[in-house]
């Protein structure tokens, strides 16, 4: 068991440093503390199967790779597949707006001009961004997207139903914004 701990610890440390991540960043990506990452890298403990699976997804390697010893020369040759997350995020964001434009154009063609399509496209595109940043970025990055999502949903409701009572936005929005801010203060520890 001690051999396995050392093998896994070296592989995690290699992959983390090779991807230029700090222990804190890796911990946030896994929803664990940096202390847990440090414990794994020291070989004091081995992450469970669920965490190994998440690690393999983050570093684009197999779980088998994490559990087996590698020669130094061969390990240097193994470069995890990297892709530009910003480009994928931009494509996803623009894809949402392209669909909105297509829907708008179809409605215009059939004689029903519905500009609300663009109002609804904003929360949908923010949900796409929240999903991508939850997987790829630091946890704190999502606070901005979630805040924008709350206000864009409130705006969509306003433009759809409440044209005269604009003050109701604050009645709904302020407590919702406070909940979002407080939810990011919650820490997950292991």
pLDDT digits (tens, 9 = 90+) for 77-113: 455 555 677 788 889 999 999 999 999 999 988 887 6
Q: How many domains does the chain have?
A: 2
Tell me the pLDDT tens digit for each residue of 39-57.
Answer: 988 888 889 888 888 888 8
Rounded Cα gap, residues 124 and 151, in angstroms: 13
What is the percent of the chain with per-residue pLDDT over 70, rounded to a whole number?
87
38 and 93, same domain (yes or no): no
Mean pLDDT value across residues 70-78: 57
CATH of the domain at 30: 1.10.260.40
62 and 138, same domain (yes or no): no
54 and 127, same domain (yes or no): no
Tell me the angle at which helices 142-161 and 116-136 cross, rounded to the nearest 10 degrees. Answer: 160
Q: Which helix (H) or strand (E) holds 123?
A: helix 116-136
pLDDT at 45: 87
pLDDT at 143: 84
**86 token code pair:** 């910003």
14 and 43, same domain (yes or no): yes
Please give the residue range of the domain that contains residue 115.
85-183
pLDDT at 77: 44
Q: What is the pTM of this model?
A: 0.53
Q: In whole angstroms, how far apart are CA 112 and each of 52, 66, 132, 170?
A: 52, 56, 33, 32
Q: Which helix (H) or strand (E) holds 140?
A: none
């Amino acid at each position: 068991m001690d051999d396995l701990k050392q093998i896994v610890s070296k592989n995690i440390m290699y992959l983390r440093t090779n991807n230029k991540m700090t222990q804190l960043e890796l911990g946030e990506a896994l929803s664990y503390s940096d202390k847990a990452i440090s414990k794994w890298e020291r070989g004091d403990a081995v992450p469970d199967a669920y965490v190994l699976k998440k690690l393999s997804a983050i570093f684009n390697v197999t779980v088998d790779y994490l559990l087996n010893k590698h020669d130094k020369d061969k390990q240097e040759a193994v470069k995890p597949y990297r892709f530009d997350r910003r480009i994928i995020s931009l494509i996803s964001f623009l894809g949402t707006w392209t669909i909105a434009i297509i829907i708008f154009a179809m409605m215009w063609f059939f004689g029903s001009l519905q500009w609300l399509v663009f109002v609804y496209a904003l929360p949908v595109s923010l949900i796409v961004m929240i999903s991508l940043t939850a997987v790829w970025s630091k946890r704190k990055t999502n606070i901005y997207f979630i805040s924008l999502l709350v206000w864009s949903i409130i705006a969509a409701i306003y433009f759809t139903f409440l044209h005269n009572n604009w003050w109701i936005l604050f009645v709904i929005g302020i407590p919702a914004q406070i909940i979002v801010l407080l939810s990011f203060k919650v820490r997950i520890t292991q």
